[in-house]
Structure 1
């Protein structure tokens, strides 16, 4: 299975009039991706609750929407994101609890309507994740999270990501085309197209083929990570400033890239092998994200769903002056 990159849709929530827009947008996205009336209704109900919760709890926030590709069909992901003072998540999930004098059934109802529900809240704010799949789709959720945004909401994005799955193997690509806008996107898409044809070829051969495909474009930075769950190992190669690290609950390992420009010039490329990676998080990100973050500053976050982690990193460390991609993958054989 291959998953091509797509940007996150962002809805600003700062006024009650935007609740209806959020509901309609989410419901339309579900219907467009094959949800029947009942399942699309679940999506609409939860979108309404999440938007209302942002206004009640934080007065302002965002909802991030994504399509979650599946082997057959697709799911819908909605994240509610704010920068308020935080709240007691377990208390708020209990029916009857309210901080604002309302009935207090919102988050409890949300968790029951969704196929995946997770959240993280601290003094910096809260992120609530919901995912929906058609009731007829019994495949398990893939523990992968993506947050991808273009500079100034440009319809063109110079960042791309691509994921491929084959049993217990995962191959992941992130490319950051030089600059931003249409020409940066053209460069990155040329590399992605080549990667998608044979994503489990050796990383060095892939790099050479992508370099040729991106010659004549602006070029860009690139990182490829290939995980083999059966071998409990990961191989990584990077050129340029795509950040990457492996994170366990008790330690973090940065992954080295070489200087240069794919499609332009680089002097050296070398793959690096990492053993005993089952149960780790793989995080790959373009330089639209600051590199000074540390998940240990967020106690317990390493155990949350990768989509929650990606959203928090984007919320707190986006530079705001370039396209940005954050890709978080839980390395586990269950992906197969």
Structure 2
């Protein structure tokens, strides 16, 4: 059964495909993804049955509904998640709707009940007049002991702009393990010296590579005029040091523009973040900056959550919105102007206290930042991916690639 691991559960996610009004395509893709991730024949068949129920419900009840298929992986196990979101009438009573035999359109009404029995995790959030978010997760059988009853502490999703099959937004997370006092985690035990990224564009700039204007000008997007947003409680840390205990690192990247070239920047950022041994957000930002040279560049945010110390360390460059939210409050985190991989100021880390019963939310400019805690009504009690999906439904603009990542229940 394998060793039972302690600490937060983190998973890598690969958003495979979004489906709208493509029931047959969704069922076929689910079967292919189940086989690819090694679910096994029976479990793959159960996944296909659940997807069939979900797409049928979309056709009957939803307005502007979509279904996302994605692969989820730990170090040892791969599974499949299905995320469904719509702007339909919503469900006035979700627990009642999950009972067998309940239907609002005269059918047998066994869909939600069947999905709940088939899936290892099934989470539903619905608000009358706003729509519904559903999450179903399938692990292989038998479920590994280190996954049974555990929920990923960080969840998110990406959505490409209409007409594109790949997304320039990307996110990743990793654990920085507890280290003995005095161990900086750097090569040779020495602290890393802070160096500023290039103050001028790299020699191999976007214009030099393509002969075209920069993606920011070509698409009407501008990273540099972004004005820093700072909560009154944010504290700059001029010589940040990782605190004792375990830290959870979270990164969100918005590759400049959209399409395959933006996706390459996002992939490079994820690879640099995952392979970096940096313990601090500003150091991870420097690693990502170096990895993105020669790409379009990106807006990037990196956070370090320290549950034992009750604090969050944050470094952001470009138009990434980040906030610590509760049911009634929202504290924005400071991001500076710049383009990671091209031209930035020296990255700076800022410290923020972790609010009780709160969550960290980060998203790209594919969502408007004009949302409030009231827009997350009821979502904070659900899983991180459900919260992220609900916010994307509420604030997504559809004029750009979009991404949301959420960390919750870590403190």
TM value normalised by structure 2: 0.74
The counterpart of 1:58, out of the listed 33, 58, 62, is 62
Which of 304, 312, 332 does residue 382 from structure 2 map onto?
304
Q: Which residue matches 1:12?
A: 20
Cα distance in structure 2, aligned partners of 1:174 and 1:150 = 15
Alignment of 1:1-336 (within 5 A): 6-13=14-21, 18-58=22-62, 61-87=65-91, 88-122=93-127, 123-136=129-142, 137-138=144-145, 139=147, 140-166=150-176, 168-277=246-355, 279-332=357-410
What stretches of structure 2 of length at least 5 have no aligned partner?
1-8, 178-245
Q: Distance in 1 between matches of 2:13 and 2:256?
A: 17
Q: CA deviation at 1:28?
A: 1.9
What is the distance in 1 between the residues matched to 2:283 and 2:377?
40
Unpaired runs of at least 5, structure 1:
none
Secondary structure of the residue aligned to 1:120 is strand
Distance (whole Å) between structure 2 residues aligned to residue 119 and residue 132 of structure 1: 15
| Residue-by-residue CA offset, 1:111-159 (whole Å, 9 max, x unaligned) | 1211111111121111111111113223123143222122234244322
Residue deviations 1:22-76 (CA, integer Å, cap 9, x gap): 2222122112101112211221111111111122222662211111112212121
3-state SS, counterpart of residue 304 of structure 2: strand
- CA deviations on 1:228-273 (whole Å, 9 max, x unpaired) are 2232322100011111111123322111111112122223432111
Using the alignment, how far apart are the partners of 1:60 and 1:211 within structure 2? 38
Does the 8 A contact of 1:8 with 1:148 survive in 2? no
Provide the C-alpha distance between the structure 1 equivalents of 2:273 and 2:379, rounded to a whole number of angstroms.
31
Change (3 A) 1:312 1:199: farther
In 2, distance between residues paired with 1:29 and 1:278? Answer: 38
Relative to the length of structure 1, the TM-score reads 0.89
CA contact (8 A) 2:301 2:314 kept: yes
User: Is the alpha carbon distance of 1:248 and 1:259 closer, same or farther for their aligned partners in structure 2, counting shifts above 3 Å?
Assistant: same
- The change in CA–CA distance for 1:188 and 1:59 in structure 2 (over 3 A counts) is closer
Give the distance between the partners of 2:260 and 2:26, measured in 1 at CA.
28
| CA deviations over 1:286-306 (Å, ceiling 9, x no partner) | 111111122313421221111
Residues of 1 paired with 2:264 and 2:117: CA distance?
A: 42
- More displaced stretch, 45-54 vs 192-201: 192-201
Which is further off, 22-31 or 61-70?
22-31
